[in-house]
Structure 1
Amino acid sequence: MASPAWELQKAVYGALVADTGLAALLGGAWVYDEAPRGAAFPYVTFGPSAVRDWSAGTETASEHVFTLRVWSKHGGEREVHRILEAIRAALHDASLSLDGFRLVNLRHETSDTAREADGETHRGTARFRAVVEPIP
């Protein structure tokens, strides 16, 4: 049985790597499920996600809350903010195609930034909410 969460992640990945503005900010299509050792900064990774039943009556659906993380070693948070905005622009209200499922909606909820404990790395987190239903 297909996983709506995996189909959504594949569609989000495809949208991000196809976005030329985001690629320009990253210096390439540097979007990872898990970043390889020695990955060049900046890059984006998939972060934690959660799936909840969103069914109503006889209609089956699932709610997906997922995060994307931006990693940068550029001085200050400017680069992180610019990349977060490019991610938001690429995904908020996007109409993505999922195999076996229909994306009802995809919305940006929040973004935040932080400096990591090493004092050099900046992290940005963008949180999204999506509702997905199976195609009969």
Structure 2
Amino acid sequence: MSYGVSAALQSAVYQKLIADAELTGLVGNAIFDTVPPGTVPTTYVSLGPEDVRDKSDNTGMGALHFVTVSVVTDSAGFQTAKSVAAAVSDALVDADFTLTRGSLVYFRFDRATARRVGTGETRRIDLNFQARVEDD
């Protein structure tokens, strides 16, 4: 197994999100690798947890990354969150990623979970993707 492509994959996902005109039209520059301390925008996108499994074979080292990207908003209802989540998905699924290490075999949507956070108006959608990489 190789975890070596993880940082390159995370960077490529982040770069793809901040370069997407549709997404930035919805959230501006509120796309974070990590949510900053203090007051956060009313709607933002954040890279989340990652789970990785070995997918090495006779041809070389590889891994399957389960990547989470979260959309958080305090807008009433789920419409805003779902519009932003759709833009995130459109920006990432089957995109042409440039990695600084290794290569991307595919980047696919896996599932999403939409929920209200606590008892307030905050809504959160966690989008889960699968990324198969090879460590060339």
CA distance in 2, matches of 1:11, 1:130: 12
CA distance in 2, matches of 1:80, 1:59: 40
CA distance in 1, matches of 2:71, 2:100: 27
Give unpaired runs (5+ residues) of structure 2: none
Give unpaired runs (5+ residues) of structure 1: none
CA distance in 2, matches of 1:130, 1:104: 7
| C-alpha displacement of 1:111 | 1.5
CA distance in 2, matches of 1:111, 1:2: 24
CA distance in 2, matches of 1:40, 1:123: 14
TM-score (norm 1): 0.93
Task: Tell me which residue corresponds to 2:91.
Answer: 90
Task: Tell me which residue corresponds to 2:56.
Answer: 55
CA deviation map 1:22-59 (0-9, x unaligned): 01111x12111221121112001111111111011232
Superposition map of 1:101-112 within 5 A? 101-112=102-113
- SS of equivalent residue, structure 1 residue 24: helix
Answer whether contact 1:84 1:111 (CA < 8 A) is retained: no
Identical pairs, percent: 33
| C-alpha displacement of 1:8 | 0.4
Does 1:38 pair with 2:39?
yes
Q: Name the structure, 1 or 2, with higher relative contact order (CA <8 Å, separation 6+).
A: 2
CA distance in 1, matches of 2:121, 2:127: 20
Does 1:22 pair with 2:23?
yes
Residues 2, 130 of structure 1: alpha-carbon distance in 2 compared, 3 angstrom cutoff: closer
- SS of equivalent residue, structure 2 residue 58: coil
Q: Which amino acid aligns with 1:55?
A: S
Task: Tell me which residue corresponds to 1:127.
Answer: 128
Q: Which amino acid aligns with 2:70?
A: R
- SS of equivalent residue, structure 2 residue 96: coil
Post-superposition, which runs of at least 4 consecutive aligned residues in structure 1 deviate over 3 A?
A: none
Answer whether contact 2:60 2:135 (CA < 8 A) is retained: no
Question: More deviation in 1-10 or 89-98?
Answer: 1-10
